[in-house]
Amino acid sequence: MILTALLIHTPASSISTALLIHTLTSLKEEDAPHTLGVALMLSTTAQKSLIGWEAHGPRILTATIRTKIRRINMDVIQCYAPTNETDEAGKDDFYDRLLRITQSRPQRNILIVMGDLNAKIGEDLQGHHTENQLDHVCIKKKFRRSLQDVRVKRGADVGSDHHLLVARLKLKLKKNYVGEIGNRKRYNLRLLKENTHREEFKLTLSNKFQVLQELLEEESIDHKWHGLREALTSTCQEVLGPKKTDHKEWISAETFTKIEERKKKKDAVNKSRTRTTKQIAQKEYAVANKNVKKSFRKDARNFVDMLANEAEEAAHYGNMRQLYSTIKMLSGKVKTCTERPIKDKNGKTIPDVEGKKNRWREHFEELLNRPEPRNPPDIQPAENDLPINCEAPTKEEIRGAINHLRNGKATGPDGIPAEALKADVETSVEMLHPLFIKIWEEDQVPTEWKEGYLIKLPKKRRSKLLFQL
């Protein structure tokens, strides 16, 4: 499901589980007046199919979504057209930009242009009309049969003078393959603090290790590592289970009651038969809408006060992890779309996945393959070698390394959290020591140990060009 929105005044809220991409990120100033703006809200399924998106000023937003049709994607252009009060230069700039964007889309893709176009269609445009048709959903003629239904949902109550416009397409979205980093599992590690779950974890891991000792005694290094990794991750999955997100209900029951009252006022407006009754119903609806917004602001203040109390309590008990996560939520630094558009050296947006991979490959080839220095330093050999222990790793060294692991850190490609190794240190040592000895003797490491994650940290907040990273 893809939900569009117009006149976005505030950035995405941290309370929403859907992904919100909006044109406010293209504003140069944080405190600039948000009088314009369009947005797309993507469901969980649509998020996995999102290839990329880009804001073209405050009035136009484009997003590319992968479909199950081979080599055919869906380009969605959400726009908010200027009204007649806008000067001619502003109108020309909008439509020229919209024309350039539509012409730049690949011809094989499904093209959808939708939003508040502020344009009336039909023959009976003259005269007085109580309602106007301004919102439209347009699709490329080649794919018009995919558009099954378009209708207005007059009962949808969102506190707007527009009615909800719903379009149904017969189209299948395909999830982007992002590798194990996108499918990384997070376990409910809090259960390890409880004695019952901790003992159950130890017993399960010990039983699996006893079975592995007999099966993997003469296996290769890769097979040994795969067996150990599977034993640890499967134990986490069986005993701990996936991590549950704690969503706090910040909207009060009083606000929900006022929302129901506003919805009744909305129905009264839609069912009005005369101009007088409609004007009265609209005034009552405006009052109800004002009460809902006032109640929302009250709930938001109470929610912020609750977070502040939690942060103060976490600071009192020295829980830095809880403190920083609460402060991050209070400051409004929420996670937005990670798939930001990437541009090439000429400043042109790269829409397809293969083109992005090639650009990343080109970037790292230029970054890592640097020319040799003209005047290399003359480093003299050391007079005495340092006393470095070159013997095979001992169990004491492995035990010390496990105990020094820090909790609360993200896992690597293996998906093994530090808390799982520290839950039963002795069993972990007995599992890892034979593997380390075999690695030491054969002078080889498992193939998976050569893998790693590359995390981009832009120098600038809205950096899109790779040479600015």
> What are the tens digits of pLDDT across the range 348-394?
777 667 788 888 888 888 888 888 888 888 888 888 888 888 888 99
- The pLDDT confidence band at residue 405, using thresholds 50, 70 and 90, is very high
pLDDT at 451 over 80: yes
Which pLDDT does position 465 carry in this prediction?
A: 56
The helix-helix angle for 425-442 and 221-235 (nearest 10°) equals 160
- Residue 12's pLDDT is 39
* First-to-final CA distance of the chain: 33
> What is the mean pLDDT of the segment spanning 79-89?
86
Task: Tell how far CA 206 is from the center of its chain.
Answer: 37
For 256-292, the pLDDT digits (tens) are 999 999 999 988 988 888 889 988 998 999 999 999 9
With cut-offs at 50, 70 and 90, classify the pLDDT of residue 117: confident
Q: Is the torsion defined by CA of 328, 332, 336, 340 positive or negative? A: negative
Burial profile 143-175: b = 16 or more Cβ within 10 angstroms, e = fewer = beebbeeeeeeeeebeeeeebebebebebebee
DSSP string, 52-91: EEEEETTTEEEEEEEBSSTT-EEEEEEEE---TTS-HHHH
The string of pLDDT tens digits covering residues 14-58 is 334 455 665 554 444 455 555 678 888 888 778 888 888 888 888
The pLDDT value recorded for residue 17 is 45
Average the pLDDT over 103-123 and give the result: 81
Once rounded to an integer, what is the mean pLDDT over residues 209-226? Answer: 82
pLDDT tens for each residue of 283-304? 999 999 999 999 999 999 999 9
The predicted structure's pLDDT at residue 11? 43
Average pLDDT, the chain: 80
Enter the DSSP assignment of 405: P
- Whole-angstrom Cα distance, residue 304 to residue 301? 5
Q: Residue 165: beta bridge partners? A: 152
Taking alpha carbons only, the member of 187, 190, 193, 184 closest to residue 243 is 187
Distances (CA, A) of 151 to 38, 147, 154, 173, 346: 21, 11, 9, 22, 42
What is the chain's percent helix, strand, coil content, to nearest 5?
Answer: 45, 15, 40
The helix-helix angle for 275-317 and 253-270 (nearest 10°) equals 160
- Label residue 178 by pLDDT band (50, 70, 90): very low
Q: What is the pTM of this model?
A: 0.59
Q: pLDDT grade, residue 396 (50/70/90)?
A: very high
3-state secondary structure of 349: strand
Rounded CA-CA distance 98/109 in Å is 17
Which of 7-11, 88-92, 172-176 ranks highest by mean pLDDT? 88-92
pLDDT over threshold 90, residue 201 = yes
What CA–CA distance (Å, rounded) separates 312 from 316? 6
Whole-number pLDDT of residue 125? 58
Residue 309 clears pLDDT 60, i.e. is over it? yes
